[in-house]
Amino acid sequence: MWRRIATKAYELWDTRGRQEGYALQDWLDAEEIVMDEIHEARE
C-alpha cells in the first residue's frame, strides 16, 4: 500500500506542476484517495 500511496502522491505533485512545499499535503491527499479506492473496491 505504501508504494501505491507514493505513486499517487507523485501523480498529484506532477499534476500541480511539480511545485515544492506540498509534500505532506500530497501524501495526505494520496492516502485519502487510495483508501477511498480500496474501500470502494470492497463494496
**What are the C-alpha distances in Å from 33 to residues 2, 4, 36, 41?**
13, 10, 5, 12
By 3-state DSSP, what share of the chain in percent is helix, strand and coil, each rounded to 5? 80, 0, 20
Rounded Cα gap, residues 32 and 36, in angstroms: 6
What share of the chain has pLDDT > 70, as a percent? 100
Q: Is 17 helix (H, G, I), strand (E, B) or coil?
A: coil
Arithmetic mean of pLDDT, 15-19 = 96
Q: What is the pTM of this model?
A: 0.87
DSSP designation for 20: S
- pLDDT value at position 43? 85
In sequence order, which residues have a C-beta less than 8 Å from that of residue 27 and are 6 or more positions away? 5, 9
